[in-house]
């Protein structure tokens, strides 16, 4: 500190000794040593290629699982990601509509028999979030086919 700033601190200290705080000196960190790459650039490239191949294989496996599960997807079809997504979405929407229909039938059955409606467990109640009207029109056309 320079002399003028010391004078200011002394005056403050005389007026209010608790107002002066000690200056905290943080120890300086040693600079890190430059990171040494233990692999050659060729090895780094090969590792990258191998990890990318593993990632692609995982994606293919997930798509294969979807093809097995979703009835509208055929293994012989051209493997288009967007096609897989669209058919999977359509199948899920159909499942939600089917769930709603079956719950309605169950409720009607109990009403016809004069019994109180049975409350279904939450795990059997699927509710689809609201769909914009343009998509609802498309869904109605699909369900009528």
Distance (Å) of CA 10 to CA 2, 6, 23, 88: 13, 6, 14, 77
pTM to 2 decimals? 0.52
Dist CA 29 CA 32 (whole Å): 9
pLDDT by 10s per residue, the chain, length 145: 445 555 555 555 555 555 556 677 888 888 888 777 788 888 999 999 999 999 999 998 998 888 889 988 887 776 788 888 899 999 999 999 998 898 888 888 888 888 877 777 777 777 777 655 545 555 554 554 4
**Distance between CA atoms of residues 65 and 70, nearest Å:** 9
Q: Is 114 left (phi over 0), alpha (psi -120 to 50) or beta?
A: left
Residue 92: CB atoms within 10 A of its CB come to 13
Cβ atoms of 84 and 73 within 8 Å: the answer is yes
- Per-residue pLDDT tens over the stretch 61-91: 998 888 889 988 887 776 788 888 899 999 9
Task: Classify each residue of 67-82 as buried b or exposed e, where b means 16 or more C-beta atoms within 10 Å of its C-beta.
Answer: beebeebeeeeeeeee
Q: Give the residue from 88, 50, 100 showing the smallest Cα distance to 58.
A: 50
Host H or E run for residue 67: helix 41-69
């Amino acid at each position: 500190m320079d002399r003028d700033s010391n004078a200011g601190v002394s005056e403050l200290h005389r007026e209010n000794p608790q107002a002066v705080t000690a200056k905290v000196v943080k120890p300086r960190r040693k600079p890190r040593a430059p990171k040494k790459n233990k692999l050659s650039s060729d090895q780094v490239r090969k590792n990258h290629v191998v990890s990318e191949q593993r990632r692609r294989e995982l994606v293919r496996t997930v798509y294969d699982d979807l093809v097995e599960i979703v009835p509208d997807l055929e293994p012989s079809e051209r493997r288009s990601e967007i096609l897989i997504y669209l058919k999977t979405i359509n199948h899920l929407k159909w499942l939600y509509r089917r769930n709603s229909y079956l719950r309605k039938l169950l409720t009607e059955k109990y009403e016809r028999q004069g019994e109180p409606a049975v409350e279904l467990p939450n795990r059997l109640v699927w509710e689809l979030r609201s769909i914009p009207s343009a998509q609802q029109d498309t869904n109605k056309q699909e369900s009528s086919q």
